[in-house]
């Protein structure tokens, strides 16, 4: 594979994976306008975000087996087509209930990009290069929170929030063309994989029995749900509490997204000296400390707008280190059922994201405390699960006397 081909593949995979981030972030500045036009409240509009995250969680479980059975591209085309249609439906909806429903269906279609991108990384790149590939992929994904809310703010101000969803449909149509002309096929269709419910569940169970997958999916999935709490609460915190404009909110969101971009590049360098396991350990410790400071400072009213932005920047830097390494370690043990593993991984992450965003909405107090408390809780629980899970795996391995491929943690770091 030439360097040019490598870059093109990463950009296409990154574009596929950014469909849902764009769908989540781009309409955030339009929350007040959507609430006004649909004659509802901000809290009800926030439920459309929860519906999208729930749709991603459900949809990924459907696409995992389909991507293994029919190959990567056919399910990918089907999902992207559903996404385009439902995006246009979102643009022309006239009630909050239909808007929430269309957002759910939009997620069912769009989430195929996330599953397919993860599976194709595992298909195309060797296991000792997947963490670096995921790091570059995360870099492409991380650009979307910088671009999407900023563009969304200006588009909403100039043309109304409806136009955001028309733009999403057009972008996805262009991505489909890139997939058709430039993306490799990846792992071929496997006719031996049954789509009967019993067989699908059996494959999922086989994946869940892999201890390394379970460890990093649970710990990483809960910890990586923290940004969804931030996404759900930030529009209300900055636009209603600190009274910033739609455009200014877009720039604040873009600045905080840069935290993830910088750290993904740093992660790419760090992996030349340290293993993914070491990076995750350090990241969860410092994120937990930053999260606790966010909660205490918010409770006692220590933060101005600028100081809150600064500490959020420090916290979110950890996502660029945590996400690609947790993903690589979760998928490292698999050569078969990669699609099902990627689906379970992504589904759990989005389920946690939906739960955390819903928690911010339910706990709404008119302050930043619900947002920062949920963020801190995600990091703390992720850290505790990681420490407990590693100890449990090592204890079970010592009891078996002989380590096999279900008890050995497969490293994705560079050998020293």
Q: Where along the chain do its domains lie? A: 3-186+209-400
Q: What is the pLDDT of residue 331?
A: 79
Q: Which residue has the higher pLDDT, 95 or 140?
A: 95
Rounded to an integer, the average pLDDT of 134-147 is: 67
CATH T-level assignment (fold) for domain 3-186+209-400: Growth Hormone; Chain: A; (1.20.1250)
* Nearest by Cα to 325 from 243, 266, 400: 266
- Chain segment 58-86, per-residue pLDDT in tens: 887 788 788 888 888 899 999 999 999 99
Q: What is the pLDDT of residue 415?
A: 42
Rounded to an integer, the average pLDDT of 87-105 is: 94
**What's the half-sphere exposure (Cβ side, CA atoms, 13 Å) at 284?**
27
- C-alpha 77 chain-centroid distance: 21
Residue 212 reports pLDDT greater than 90: no
Q: Which residue has the higher pLDDT, 190 or 411?
A: 190
Q: Which residue has the higher pLDDT, 112 or 239?
A: 112
Q: What is the pLDDT of residue 320?
A: 76
Q: What is the pLDDT of residue 401?
A: 54
- Chain segment 222-232, per-residue pLDDT in tens: 888 888 888 77
Rounded to an integer, the average pLDDT of 337-342 is: 74
Residue 398 reports pLDDT greater than 70: no
Q: Is the dihedral of CA 138, 253, 372, 16 positive or negative?
A: negative
The Cα-based distances of 35 to 20, 45, 150, 151, 216 in angstroms read 22, 6, 19, 20, 38
**What's the half-sphere exposure (Cβ side, CA atoms, 13 Å) at 161?**
23
User: Which DSSP helix (H) or strand (E) runs through 249?
Assistant: helix 246-270
Please indicate, yes or no, whether the overall pTM of this predicted structure exceeds 0.75: no
DSSP H helical segments within 160-208, as ranges? Answer: 162-182, 197-208
Q: Which residue has the higher pLDDT, 137 or 356?
A: 356
Residue 139 reports pLDDT greater than 80: no
CA angle 128, 4, 342 (to 5 degrees): 40
Q: Which residue has the higher pLDDT, 162 or 361?
A: 162
Residue 407 reports pLDDT greater than 70: no
On whether the CB atoms of residues 231 and 257 are closer than 8 A, the answer is no
Rounded to an integer, the average pLDDT of 235-259 is: 79
Residue 382 reports pLDDT greater than 90: no
| Max CA distance (Å), the chain | 67
Q: What is the pLDDT of residue 416?
A: 38
Residue 214 reports pLDDT greater than 90: no
On whether the CB atoms of residues 238 and 372 are closer than 8 A, the answer is no
Rounded to an integer, the average pLDDT of 361-390 is: 84
On whether the CB atoms of residues 233 and 368 are closer than 8 A, the answer is yes
On whether the CB atoms of residues 263 and 321 are closer than 8 A, the answer is yes
């Amino acid at each position: 594979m030439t360097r040019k081909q490598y870059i093109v593949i990463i950009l296409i995979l990154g574009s596929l994976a950014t469909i849902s981030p764009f769908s989540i972030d781009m309409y955030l500045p339009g929350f007040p306008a959507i609430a006004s036009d649909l004659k509802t409240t901000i809290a009800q509009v926030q439920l459309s975000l929860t519906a999208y995250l729930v749709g991603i969680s459900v949809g990924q479980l459907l696409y995992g087996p389909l991507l293994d059975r029919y190959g990567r591209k056919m399910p990918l085309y089907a999902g992207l087509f559903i996404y385009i249609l439902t995006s246009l439906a979102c643009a022309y909806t006239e009630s909050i209930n239909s808007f929430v429903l269309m957002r759910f269906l939009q997620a069912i279609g769009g989430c195929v990009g996330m599953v397919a991108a993860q599976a194709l990384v595992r298909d195309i790149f060797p296991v000792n290069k997947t963490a670096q590939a995921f790091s570059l992929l995360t870099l492409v994904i991380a650009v979307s929170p910088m671009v999407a809310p900023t563009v969304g703010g200006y588009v909403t101000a100039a043309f109304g929030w409806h136009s955001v969803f028309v733009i999403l449909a057009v972008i996805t149509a262009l991505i489909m063309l890139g997939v058709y002309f430039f993306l490799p096929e990846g792992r071929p269709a496997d006719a031996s994989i049954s789509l009967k419910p019993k067989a699908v569940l059996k494959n999922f169970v086989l994946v869940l029995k892999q201890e390394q997958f379970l460890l990093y999916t649970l710990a990483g999935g809960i910890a990586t749900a923290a940004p969804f709490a931030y996404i759900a609460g930030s529009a209300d915190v900055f636009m209603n509490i600190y009274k910033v404009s739609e455009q200014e909110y877009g720039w604040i969101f873009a600045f905080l997204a840069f935290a993830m971009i910088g750290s993904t590049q740093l992660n790419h360098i760090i992996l030349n000296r340290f293993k993914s396991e070491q990076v995750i350990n350090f990241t969860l410790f410092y994120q937990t400390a930053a999260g606790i400071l966010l909660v205490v400072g918010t409770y006692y009213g220590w933060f101005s707008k600028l100081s809150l932005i600064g500490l959020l920047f420090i916290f979110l830097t950890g996502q660029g280190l945590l996400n690609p390494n947790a993903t690589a370690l979760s998928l490292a043990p698999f050569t078969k059922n990669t699609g099902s593993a990627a689906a379970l991984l992504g589904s759990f992450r989005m389920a946690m994201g939906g739960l955390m965003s819903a928690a911010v909405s339910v706990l709404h107090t008119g302050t930043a405390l619900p947002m920062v408390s949920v963020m801190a809780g995600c990091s703390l629980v992720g850290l505790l699960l990681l420490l407990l899970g590693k100890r449990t795996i090592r204890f079970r391995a010592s009891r078996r006397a002989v380590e096999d491929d279900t008890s050995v943690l497969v490293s994705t770091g560079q050998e020293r």
